[in-house]
Chain A
């Protein structure tokens, strides 16, 4: 009998499972649950995109593409970024098509990090940054953003954590799970710091199109930041294409080419079918995308108002499709709250602590759900809150 425990790499063994997994197992066994726990759009990919994909299959597009992705798609990505943010990337050597932002993040970290290099990670944030940093031999250095500051990371907070080993800073705005966005002026302050300390920025902007107030600032579009930034983005959220697994990385030719080297050996290329669909999404998908964004915005307002009425304090998220209300007043931990909410009120949310520092005391509620389901969920949460503290939870709208 082989003893796998002795065969496994200690680095991998030390990586904890995402806290979401345990919760997922719990939810999967229950019926009649209204879920606000889903981190993806509730729209199906627009039909014109699916239809273009079917057509590409009919035409026999079933082969490998260039390691970088098809030139046509890279050109369209570059054109799109230029039109939106006035950042100009050369599609031939500054754009790499990846299997989602997940692969892009992994490639970026593995390409940049030497053993022991520190990566600054503002938290709460998406669950993969720390584990991927550790897997790449780096040391994740979390920076706890504050609800009082609308979960924005400040230049001062970043500077306080910089050491001679600091190599990179991960930015992820609009943010999953908080819905926070970063104003341009504050990003400018961070940019100064990045330059002063000669850092690399890995900017995950997968939710860029889902910005509801003001305009999203692409970090690479800030003065002198293009060549220091690895810009990661993709099609999952804006175009409702999560299952297609398609994203892209843009940056200086030197870093992108080394990332492509890893990609070439580990992935070869992103699936051609998804690349064909993504091309259609970029060329003809703006109108439907904007409709979906408008719909999210309406639901965002509905949820915020609903939370207010049932006495659930929530800072106003201005991006992505998450609200991150505080449950500190209940005296319960995020995990206990989420678990009891699930079993007693049949509403699934994700406990905030799985997203890192300062996530504790919050729950992540995705409003990528129908108005009917959102209304039902808010009602159920309201009733649940009343059972926690009878007599004290009168509506305070």
Chain B
């Protein structure tokens, strides 16, 4: 990983639809070289996935998200990893982080209804062995995600021609 790799990552993270030709032009490099670097980073899973940030609310879809604080008893030899895996394997779980501070594992869940989320927590999550307690916080509104402000369409307010 060198400076060029980091620049490629930064460009792609901001806009993954740019093609290797455009990135090569932007960095003043050879297209084949950029393609090779991107392939390598994909293989190393430095580039994990190309995805689209969707505002589901605007799309008219009902999505309920909740952030769940989970306290667990770590296991000898494995620490938190085994337990985290049992949680993150569930497809409704969108993110799992090991945390410092008042609780251990932070779980982001998405479901269609509040009931569905609550049901998942009470039947699947809270019942996992070594889970000591859970605290569920429902998301009321998403303002910003992945560095992008949802309702922030800043129009180009510049004059079309200026000296």
Contact = CB atoms under 8 A, between A and B. Distances in A.
A35 B162 CA distance: 10
A20 B26 contact: no
A24 B26 contact: no
Contact of B26 (A39, A44, A299, A350): A299
Contact of A302 (B25, B156, B158, B163): B25
Given A44-B154, A302-B26, A371-B22, A27 B161 contact: yes
A354 B27 CA distance: 32
A126 interface: yes
A298 B24 CA distance: 9
Contacts of B18: 371
B25 A306 contact: yes
A172 B45 CA distance: 48
B48 interface: no
B27 A27 contact: no
Interface string A334-372: 000000000000001010001000000000000000010
B131 to A, nearest CB: 40
Nearest to B18: A371
Contact of A348 (B25, B27, B156, B161): B161
Interface string A95-129: 00000000000000000000000000000001110
A175 to B, nearest CB: 13
A38 B25 contact: no
B148 to A, nearest CB: 14
B160 interface: yes
B25 A305 contact: yes
Nearest to B29: A301
Contacts of B160: 24, 27-28, 33, 35, 37-38, 348
Contacts, number: 57
Interface string B119-163: 000000000000000000000000000000000001010111111
Interface string B38-78: 00000000000000000000000000000000000000000
Given A18-B163, A126-B163, A298-B11, A40 B25 contact: no
Contacts of B159: 24, 38
A39 B22 contact: no
A375 B17 CA distance: 13
Interface string B7-40: 0000100010010001001111000000000000
Contact of A350 (B15, B27, B158, B161): B161
Contacts of A298: 11, 26-27
A50 B156 CA distance: 17
Interface residues of B, number: 16
Interface string A14-55: 000010100110011000010101111010100000000000
Contacts of B163: 18, 20, 39, 126-128, 176, 350, 354
Contact of B161 (A24, A126, A299): A24
Q: How large is the interface on A (under 10, 10 to 19, 20 to 34, 35 or more residues)?
A: 20 to 34
Contacts of B22: 302, 371, 375
Contacts of A306: 25
A350 B161 CA distance: 7
A40 B163 CA distance: 8
Given A298-B11, A371-B15, A371-B18, A40 B162 contact: yes
A12 to B, nearest CB: 19
Given A44-B154, A371-B18, A301 B161 contact: no
Contacts of B15: 371
B119 to A, nearest CB: 41
A37 B161 CA distance: 5
Interface string A241-281: 00000000000000000000000000000000000000000
Looking at A35, A126, A299, A348, the one whose CB has the most chain B CB atoms below 10 A away is A35
Contacts of B28: 301
Interface in A285-310: 298-299, 301-302, 305-306
Contacts of B27: 298, 301
A30 to B, nearest CB: 9
Nearest to B26: A298
A227 B161 CA distance: 37
Nearest to A23: B161
A304 to B, nearest CB: 8
Contacts of A35: 160-161
A33 B162 CA distance: 15
A337 B106 CA distance: 60
Q: Across the A-B interface, give the 10 residue pairs with the lowest CB-CB distance, nearest first.
A: A298-B26, A37-B161, A305-B25, A24-B161, A39-B162, A302-B25, A301-B28, A27-B160, A35-B160, A127-B163
11 contacts: A18-B163, A20-B161, A24-B159, A24-B161, A40-B162, A42-B158, A127-B163, A298-B11, A299-B26, A302-B25, A375-B22
